[in-house]
Structure 1
Amino acid sequence: MKRLIHRPVRSLLILTGSLLLATIATNCHSPESKAEASEIEKAETPAATEVFTLKKDKLSSSLQIPGELVAFRDVDIYAKVSGFIKSLNVDVGSEVRQGQLLALAEAPELSAQLASADSKLKAQEALSIASKANYERILEASKFSGAVSKNDVDQALAKRNADLAQLEAAKSAYREVGDLKKYLEIRAPFDGIISARNASTGAYIGPAGKGSEFPLFVLTEQKRLRLVIAVPEAYTGYVDQNDEVSFTVKTFPDKKFTGKVKRMSGALDKRLRSERVEVDVLNDNKKLLPGMIAEVNVPLPTKSSTFVVPKSAVVNSTTGVFLIRVKDQKAEWVPVKKGIEADDKIEVFGQLTEGDHFVAAANEEIRDGSPITTK
């Protein structure tokens, strides 16, 4: 009885399994399953990577840095000798020419010294004339035998020479006092503008630290200015003398000024690690003022052809900077150093060969040695 019951059940199970296998086989050959299988195959196959050919080029960039305008010449004018101001001929803002009288001082003791020196000079001149005449008479008498001894002639000559030396000393003393008195006339050492005045008529003046804590005047040359900039160490090799730079100032934001590089310090500031560069700026209209802060544009043209690549080709990883070279359909990480940048291009330096192929859009996901399919 049991055998009769299990046989139909076994037949039913076999039939059901056959139907399931047939259904699975049918689904495997449907168009939808073929599309899914194709997508899986595409996902497993790496996408083609865009590459570029390495070549040399010249890259021109610019550096934006702040600078300061300073006077080409700026001096503090003190009195050479002590005295009192008798008159002032200029004030703040006065334009002066070289040699122009700025102030006149008086010192009565100098006048007395000059008078004394003049008296000594005249007395010495009289002595010198007398000793010279005496020598000439003795010399003439010595020509007659036995009239004058040789010793008398020598003594007269010595007296004449001594009086002549004393005369020269008196002249020197007189000139010295006269020169000191000339210092009472305070004159401009060069063309410029009076930017400060620290004394008034009747004030006591004297050399720095001996009568004047502050200078009488500050004279500034305004028609020529120096634009002082600090070029960072990485860019010093791109700046040369006579290079033209442009700049703007806040006072005239819509106007561009220009100047030429004239002086370079030739050494780096130990604190800022930058080189001091001075640009000469003509300022005939005197719109620019010493002390203004400028925004300077310094052109940085490369001196020779270098390897230039897209910025996207450079990988900045924690271990360094790399380009990814494609060699034998495999990725090869090449360490490089970066130069100047311009737009989307950048200079690179390293063990590179012109004509090699590199990944255009590199990233750290492309591992060193991994296979690459190129476009």
Structure 2
Amino acid sequence: MKTTPIQAKVETFSLQKEVLTTSIDIPAELSAFTYVDLYAKVSSYVKELKVDIGSEVKKGQLLIALEAPEITSQLLAAEAQLHASEAVYMATKNTYDRLSETSKIEGTVSKNQIDLALSAKNSDYARLQAAKANYKEYQVMQSYLQIRSPFEGIVTSRNVNIGAYVGPSGKGSETPLLTVQDDKKLRLAVSVPENYAGFVTIGDEVSFRVNSIPGKTFKAPVARMAGAFDKKLRSERVEIDIENNPLLKPGMVAEVTLSLQTKDSLYVVPKSSVMTYSEGTFVIKSVDGKAHKVPVNKRRETKDKVEVSSDELNDNDQLLKVASEEIKEDMVLGTP
């Protein structure tokens, strides 16, 4: 008696490549493109405080004037020592010049006298250079008593009052005197997970929203990428520059939407056509009317689609829309 082979009624589709576009949302934070915490470099007291929180400042503008009487007295002493060294050097130099000129007349000055005069001149010249260096050092220390803004921006923090003791170490250095930020240009830093970093390139436009401005979406291109992954987070730092937007301020929390789109098209199939179990991930291909399981690698997914790759897949292959473990290898397939 002749038996009829088991036949599964299935629906198939023609395999094609397409560009699958997905997106992910990543939390981020806005910060000033340039900012600095200003500290005192020498032990001193606050004499004048010329700015406060919210003050707009220019590059080189005096922000705080400090006073340190001991530095001023040391500077005056160094200046006096410099003048004294200059006077001594000029005296020994003149002596040497006169002896050198007189020695042109034979027998008037011994060579030993000239050598001694030259040695005294060189020694006094060395002392003069040391005095100049010492004076310059105290001049630099004196300049530390004037704290100026290194760039144009706004004062966002003040932690000091007139008369307060400040210094490079100890209680007066626990917090910065002032914080200055350039709020006209901001940077948005995003830590992109390793699995998605390959989809982001410099120049890609990203969109983001901030919690304090609901309903508003901002857009800007990727400006720079770290080029390496953080060892702890396994993510790459990506930065976006935002210029001259008065709505945005440093410190705002943002949510960045990254579009994950490949430049090359890949095979995209319905999620229902992919089955995963202990042996691996497979799709079922119809070959001469019979079922053939093809192992695949899954990539990105959307709500109802998934990217797959395999050396056994080709354009226009007929795949089952709904894969099932009940469909065995070489089972005869029929249309519903």
**Residue-pair matches, total:** 331
What letter corresponds to residue 174 of structure 1 in structure 2?
Y
Task: Write the letter of the residue equivalent to 2:312.
Answer: L
1:334 matched to 2:285: no
The Cα offsets for residues 85-130 of structure 1, whole Å up to 9 and x where unpaired, read as 1110111111212211111111111111111111111111111111
CA radius of gyration, larger in: 1
Q: How does 1:16-95 map to 2 (within 5 A)?
A: 46=7, 48-95=9-56
TM-score (norm 2): 0.91
Shift of 1:228: 1.7
**Code of the aligned partner of 1:239:** V
* Structure 2 residue 173 is matched with structure 1 residue 223: no
Mapping of residues 249-288 of structure 1, within 5 Å: 249-282=210-243, 284-288=244-248
Which of 283, 306, 319 lines up with 1:323 in the alignment?
A: 283
Residue 45 of structure 1 and its aligned partner are, at CA, apart by: 8.0
CA distance in 1 between counterparts of 2:55 and 2:226 reads 34
Change (3 A) 1:208 1:337: farther
1-structure distance, mates of 2:311, 2:173 = 66
Percent identical residues: 49
Q: Secondary structure in 1 aligned to 2:334? A: coil
Paired with 2:194 and 2:76, the residues of 1 have a C-alpha distance of 63
In the TM superposition, what is the alpha-carbon distance from 1:136 to its structure 2 partner? 0.9
**What RMSD, in angstroms, separates the aligned Cα atoms of the two structures?**
2.1
* 1:297 matched residue in structure 2: 257
Question: Match for residue 137 of structure 1?
Answer: 98
Paired position in structure 1 for 2:64: 103
Residue 21 of structure 1 corresponds to: none
State the distance in 1 between where 2:297 and 2:305 align.
14
Query: Is it true that 1:115 corresponds to 2:115 in the alignment?
Result: no
Structure 1 residue 274: Cα displacement: 2.2
In proportion to residue count, which structure has more helix?
1
For the Cα contact (< 8 Å) 1:242–1:260, is it kept in 2? yes
**Could you say what secondary structure the match of 1:121 adopts?**
helix
Aligned counterpart, 1:155: 116
Structure 2 spans left out of the alignment, 5+ residues: none
- Partner of 1:254: helix, strand, or coil? coil
- Aligned residue for 2:272? 312
> How far apart, CA to CA, are the structure 1 residues paired with 2:323 and 2:172?
73
User: CA contact under 8 A between 1:131 and 1:156: conserved in structure 2?
Assistant: yes
Distance (Å, rounded) in 2 between the aligned partners of 1:130 and 1:339: 87
Name the residue aligned to 2:125: 164
Give, in whole Å, the separation in 2 of the partners of 1:137 and 1:169: 26
Deviations 1:144-178 (A, max 9, x none): 11111222222222221221121111111111111
User: 1:56·1:306 contact (CA, 8 Å) conserved in 2?
Assistant: yes
1:310-367, Cα deviation, whole Å (9 max, x unpaired): 3332223354321111112221121211222346432211223323221123233333
State yes or no: 1:192 paired with 2:153. yes
- For structure 1, the 5+ residue unaligned runs are 1-43
Quote the Cα distance in structure 2 between the aligned partners of 1:190 and 1:216: 16
In the alignment, the residues of structure 1 paired with residue 120 and residue 169 of structure 2 have an alpha-carbon distance, to the nearest angstrom, of 45
Could you tell me how far apart the structure 1 residues matched to 2:75 and 2:211 are?
A: 56
Name which structure has the greater RCO, CA cutoff 8 Å, separation 6+: 2
Q: Which moved more, 1:269-278 or 1:249-258?
A: 269-278
Could you tell me which residue of structure 2 aligns to residue 23 of structure 1? none
Give yes or no for contact 1:83–1:205 (8 Å, CA) kept in 2.
Answer: yes
Amino acid at match of 2:134: A
Q: Give me the TM-score of the superposition, normalised by structure 1.
A: 0.82
Report if the CA contact (8 A) 2:206-2:256 is conserved. yes
* Mapped partners of 2:196, 2:295: distance in 1: 22
